[in-house]
A and B are shown apart, each in its own frame.
Chain A
Amino acid sequence: SQQGEEDPQALSIQEGENATMNCSYKTSINNLQWYRQNSGRGLVHLILIRSNEREKHSGRLRVTLDTSKKSSSLLITASRAADTASYFCATPKAAGNKLTFGGGTRVLVKP
């Protein structure tokens, strides 16, 4: 099974609303990363949070990490139609940043 699992699998919201998705993982990590994938495109890195960090912000993105619960959340505030994409969490499986990805959350932002 995959190291990271996102929840929910799909999310539909109106433009301007916030979108929250969660990621759970199984083993100890030194960092957790979030990526976005637009339809038909490659993945794009959004944010990396280290195991000694609890929260990180980047523009309209807010990521939290709870290592005691082995979980992370990604919040997109004031969503836009352009935020429509799939969002993946990824964790390194071993030294050297060998990333394994979850199944992703498909987000639809309706204008």
Chain B
Amino acid sequence: DARVTQTPRHKVTEMGQEVTMRCQPILGHNTVFWYRQTMMQGLELLAYFRNRAPLDDSGMPKDRFSAEMPDATLATLKIQPSEPRDSAVYFCASGLDTGELFFGEGSRLTVL
């Protein structure tokens, strides 16, 4: 049963620490998305890759966030340094150009 896998599922860290979240998209999917979900802002698109190339990261705070796809089986989202306002659930999703997105279960980040 193909699914998007995200790690870690939960992360508690202190302000200033580096946080790396990982995502394994579904094999064969050519688009990968990172979303952030909070009660206040809802679902925000942070980054978007197509065929591993970053196409849009305009939703991402550039000074502390970075997103990469080192290979077709791994996408990473890094926050350095982390701040309390980064506390949220981060979702990775993958799909094909014209269809639905498949979401992972999310990484719940708490920055103290």
Partner of A43, one of B31, B45, B91: B91
Q: Which of A43, A48, A104 has the most CB of B within 10 A?
A: A43
Q: Are B97 and A97 neighbours in the complex by a CB distance under 8 Å?
A: yes
Report Cα–Cα, A42/B45, bound state, in Å: 15
Interface contact A44-B98, CB-CB below 8 Å:
no
Are A48 and B56 in touch, CB under 8 angstroms? Answer: no
Within 8 A of B (CB), among A40-81: 41-45, 48
Output the least CB separation between B76 and chain A (Å): 18
The answer to whether A98 and B45 have CB atoms under 8 Å apart is: yes
Quick one: which of A2, A35, A99, A100 has the most chain B CB within 10 A? A99
Given contacts A42-B104, A42-B106, are A97 and B42 in contact (CB under 8 A)?
Answer: no
Q: How far is the CB of A47 from chain B (nearest CB, A)?
A: 9
Q: How many residues of B contact A (CB 8 A)?
A: 25
**Contact indicator B97/A101 (Cβ below 8 Å):** no
A42 and B31 alpha carbons, distance in the complex (Å): 17
B34 to chain A, nearest CB (A): 12
Contact for A2 among B42, B93, B98, B103, CB less than 8 A? B42
What per-residue 1/0 map shows which CB atoms of B88-99 lie under 8 Å from chain A? Answer: 000101011111
In contact, B91 and A97 (Cβ under 8 angstroms): no
A41-B105, A43-B91 as given contacts; A98 in contact with B42, CB under 8 Å: no
Interface size class of A (residues with CB under 8 A): 20 to 34
Q: Indicate whether A97 sits within 8 Å of B45 (C-beta atoms), given known contacts A42-B91, A42-B106, A43-B91.
A: no
- B74 at interface, CB cutoff 8 A: no
Interface: B101 (CB within 8 A): yes
User: Which residues of B lie under 8 Å from residue A101 when comparing CB positions?
Assistant: 35, 42-43
Indicate if B78 sits at the interface (CB-CB under 8 A).
no
Closest to B4 in A: A42
B contacts, CB < 8 Å to A: 4, 31, 33, 35, 42-43, 45, 48, 50, 55-56, 91, 93, 95-106
